[in-house]
Amino acid sequence: MVLPVYVYGHPLLRKVSEEIDQNYEGLNELIQNMKETMHATDGIGIAAPQVGKSIRLIYIDVDVLAEKFPELKDKRMVLINPVLTVDETSPTVTREEGCLSVPDVHENVTRHSRIHLNWFDENWQEHDEDIEGYLARVVQHEYDHLEGKLFIDHISPIRKQLNRRKLNNIATGKTQFDYRTVVYKQSKR
């Protein structure tokens, strides 16, 4: 089932998410719904807060980028309770990012190119890996969602100012989306 996406301005996107355990009710169904929602919205990653669940769960599918980044072929990951450490010694790379919760806004974000990640997959198998390149960027973007952060928090005040009207329109429900959304504050018309 495709779920509505919580968009910029909703306070749930600003909460620090909670870890879950194996007894979390409806986990498999939620993962399936997140996959369907992400594909229906042409995303490459989705974090549970974006569908209104304040838990530490991420789904990533970057296979669609394999033409540009061959190492991403068939790369699909469910991340449960991920613990991310940025390798501060790795080079930084600046690239454009966007977000299902902040549609129509695309801005350059500078991030480190290597991270260390520990997580559980959907079968509760533990993984511990160094991740580099574009995937490291996607993981950092999605991980930010679990910490109550958005990619626009990384851009300069001037760039944010230039997007002010777009952001206000999203937050007040004036933006037209081609997918279902949850807007916190309805605009007065």
Catalytic annotation on 142? yes
- Would you give the binding string for Ni ion spanning residues 40-79, x where CB under 5 A is met? ----------------------------------------
Query: Is 120 in contact with 127 (CB distance < 8 Å)?
Result: yes
For CA atoms 181, 37, 54, 164, the dihedral sign is negative
Subset of residues 2 to 41 that bind Ni ion, contact rule: CB under 5 A: none
The residue with tokens 């018309």 is 189
Classify residue 32 as left (phi > 0), alpha (psi -120 to 50) or beta: alpha
CB nearest Ni ion: which residue? 99
Q: Pick between residue 27 and residue 99 the one whose CB is nearest to Ni ion.
A: 99
Buried-exposed string 53-66: b where 16+ CB fall within 10 A, e elsewhere: bebbbbbbbbeebe
**Distance separating alpha carbons of residues 75 and 38, to the nearest angstrom:** 14
Minimum distance from residue 102 beta carbon to Ni ion (Å): 7
Stretch that binds Ni ion, among 66-74, 93-101, 163-171, 174-182 (CB under 5 A): 93-101
Return phi, psi of residue 27, to 5°: -60, -45
Write out the H or E segment, with its range, that includes residue 143.
Answer: helix 133-146
List binders of Ni ion among 99-128 (CB under 5 A): 99
Options 9-17, 81-89, 98-106, 120-128: segment touching Ni ion (CB under 5 A): 98-106
* Size, binding site for Ni ion by CB under 5 A: 1
Please say which residue, 105 or 128, places its beta carbon nearer to Ni ion. 105
Given the residues 67, 126, 142, 147, select the one marked as catalytic.
Answer: 142
- Write out the residues near Ni ion by the rule CB under 5 A: 99
* Active-site amino acid positions: 142
